[in-house]
Amino acid sequence: MQDCNGVENGFINDDDLNAMLKGSNLQKIKSSTWMKPRFYKLLEDCRTVWYDSQKLLKSARTQIFSIDDIQELRPGHQSEGMQKFAMDIPAARCFTIVFKGMKKNLDLVASDAKEANHWIDGLNKLKKRDSKMNKRERLDQWFQIYLQKADVNKDNKMSLDEVKQFLRMMNIEVDDAYAKELFVKCDKSMDGTIQGKEIEEFYKLVTEREEITTIFEAYCDKNRFLTVDKLTDFLRKEQRENVNQEYAAQLIQKYELNEEARFDSIMTKDGFMSYLMSPAADIFNQEHNKVYHDMTKPLNQYFISSSHNTYLTKDQLEGPSSVEAYISALNKGCRCVELDCWDGRDGEPVIYHGYTLTSKILFKDVIQAVKQYAFKASPYPVILSLENHCSIEQQVVMAQHMKSILGDMLLTNTIDGKVPTNFPSPQQLKGKILVKGKRLNRLEAPQDADMGDEVSDEDEAAEQDSEDEQKEVKKSGKIKLAKELSDLVIFCKSVHFNGFEDAAQNQVFYEMSSFVESKFNKLTQETAKPFIELNTRQLSRIYPAGLRTDSSNYNPVDMWNAGCQIVALNFQTPGQEMDVNQGKFLDNGFAGYNLKPKYLREKKVGFDSKNIQKGSWLNKKKLHVMVISAQQLPKSNRLKLKSVVDPLVVVEVFGVREDCLSKETEHISNNGFSPMWNATFQFDVSVPDLAFVRFVVQDYDMSSKNDFIGQFTLPFTSLKLGYRHIHLLTESGDRLPSASLFVHIMIE
């Protein structure tokens, strides 16, 4: 077997890849006392890294991870582990592999800088190659990986037993007769094994998609080709795309695999399949993959991707706090992060969940990480929501750290130096970091006015709905605030909420309040109008109840429907709520800022999400979803590797109360490779602007809760019509390499 498909990927004689294929002895670091040698090697497929504690011991436990599992590579001392345990080792020898999802970082030390660079550069090249692969190439890759695993004796041939094993690995439960039938069909040499071209034939039979064949044959000509005319016809009639023949010709050039067909401007069935698996036939409108909202409106007219207790990686009582949690949230497009600040040792403020056993991290380390990662996913402003419990002395240190580390990124004055009458826009604040917290005076107060150093002690800690927590909080009514910290608060001044009337009469636009979820629910029980009105003038932040000690989340949709901008979720907790949050901010190019619909921005409020009346927002639609099939679903549970999944699909709509509905297909026994449902559902959607559609694939379990396999959530307004593939995401929101759903969407 040729290493790495080297030639076709332009990697022939690549020094970095050759070094990785040969393997290296690297030190794995877990703590100041745990540093152990491990042998790491890139396997021939150039997609998998294998490592072992001892090179020669066959019995030693081996582990693998794939290139697809890697989030990023960090050279030097750029992880918490490296900074704690490896600062005395030269940075040039150190590197960290950061994985997607909840998997822990891998901190490694090479014998010299050259070896470290081979791994950093080599893995980055393979990551780059993988990110450019289309769905068809991923399917081929997926097939090759399993083929290698099934070829037990590594003779590049497959016996009938190996074929059965292969099918089981690929999540297909076949009866012996079917496996044998496939095998005999391909064993042209009749020697009891299949190899070379015979394996290719076997691959074609296994990956045949009869549902796509049916669609293709309805439009192809008598020679079984799609001409430019026929393809244009399909795009207009089925995909409801208003396109011309030039566009269809471009699709043929881009997705047709056969060179002669491309030359003749015709599309084969393989090319058609390639198109249907491409971004051009994705369910998510690719035009919404870039920033297309107007970004020049005042800040309070946007929904802002926001995180709660950002420092936590698990629960709220004993879980670890971590700088990595901030990096992860910022990489997911989060634009508002929370910092719970307390006095630390040696005059250095720390961040942790007060009055609990959660671990502590240094405030300055978090600010350093914010500086480095704030604008990697989006160029739009980041808000640091400060929960300040520090002494005056350590507040001064906080202000110094923010100014010295963030420099020009930190917004320390109004845009033009004058007293503002409204918020600046996300466009004006690009690349800027804003501080949300208490302020001693108003922006319009004279500079030299004596303002004292006390403010009311009313913030989240005083708003918790747990009585025990309330007892813990000092109820003196006032806290001391350092002028240095106060001066950094410009457009997000935290104030106590004394009712909607008081806010309208006595608050200025840059004063904002935080509401625990239960308080929000209470205030919007009958009507959401006063809240919507408040949000047309000011910002408001909603956060989860203190009773959610397991870091669970509320559904953010109700809060968005009331115009709340900063709806904070526990980013570390996967589930339906985070899926909806990710789906919302997938729109507008993942900028972390989405412009609110006009009726949530107008000063004269007519809309009420609790009582839907006639208005511009009412735009009744009927959504028809046909769930046709799924492809290459992974096993849902690592503990059940021997079993094959029994998949079912749940389609959910979220939005205003009357639009919320969930429907599900039957489960299909023992087929995770190519299950077929052809199930049709209908949903009535009255306010499409505020609606989301979530597709979830589960593994049916008769005796307990169904296991999660994958999901994809998107705004109703980003849906594409016709035959579409849905590329499924993992629980933590990362892409599943090969798994997809095939659906047909129609909106009346």
Active site residue 496: no
Please state whether beta strands 24-29 and 106-109 pair in parallel, antiparallel, or not at all (unpaired): antiparallel
40 known member of a binding site: yes
d(CA 48, CA 318): 35
700 known member of a binding site: yes
36 known member of a binding site: yes
Question: Tokens 């399993």 label which residue?
Answer: 146
376 known member of a binding site: no
Q: Which of 358, 357, 299 is nearest to 592 (CA)?
A: 299
Q: For residue 90, which phi and psi values (nearest 5 degrees)?
A: -55, 135
493 known member of a binding site: no
48 known member of a binding site: yes
33 known member of a binding site: yes
Question: Tokens 């007293």 label which residue?
Answer: 419
34 known member of a binding site: yes
35 known member of a binding site: yes
436 known member of a binding site: yes
671 known member of a binding site: no
Q: Which of 109, 126, 122, 91 is nearest to 22 (CA)?
A: 122
SS3 state of residue 501 = helix
54 known member of a binding site: yes
554 known member of a binding site: no
632 known member of a binding site: no
Active site residue 308: yes
Residue 127, classified by CB atoms within 10 Å of its CB into exposed (0-12), middle (13-18) or buried (19+), is middle
d(CA 404, CA 413): 16
SS3 state of residue 420 = coil
Q: Which of 623, 711, 717, 592 is nearest to 285 (CA)?
A: 717
Are the C-beta atoms of 722 and 240 separated by less than 8 Å? yes
CA distances from 633 to 446, 643, 650, 683, 705 (A): 64, 13, 15, 26, 18
724 known member of a binding site: no
641 known member of a binding site: no
The H or E element that residue 383 is part of is strand 382-388
d(CA 696, CA 589): 23
582 known member of a binding site: no
Q: Which residue out of 77, 353, 389, 401 is catalytically annotated?
A: 353
Q: State the sign of the Cα–Cα–Cα–Cα dihedral 320, 50, 152, 169.
A: positive
d(CA 116, CA 16): 10
Q: Give buried/exposed letters for 340-368 (b at 16+ CB in 10 A, else e).
A: bbbebeeeebbbbbeebebbbbbbbbbbb
275 known member of a binding site: no
d(CA 273, CA 51): 37
Question: Tokens 């795309």 label which residue?
Answer: 241
Q: Which of 715, 721, 741 is nearest to 590 (CA)?
A: 715
DSSP per residue, 628-655: EEEE-PPPS-GGGTTS---EEEEEEEES
44 known member of a binding site: yes
Neighbours of 570 (CB within 10 A): 27
649 known member of a binding site: no
670 known member of a binding site: yes
42 known member of a binding site: yes
340 known member of a binding site: yes
SS3 state of residue 41 = strand
50 known member of a binding site: yes
Q: Which residue out of 77, 118, 288, 308 is catalytically annotated?
A: 308
463 known member of a binding site: no
List residues forming the annotated binding site for Ca(2+).
309, 338, 340, 387, 646, 670, 699-701
User: Known catalytic residues?
Assistant: 308, 353
Annotated binding site: 28-55, 309, 338, 340, 387, 436, 438, 514, 541, 646, 670, 699-701
Annotated binding-site members for substrate: 28-55, 436, 438, 514, 541
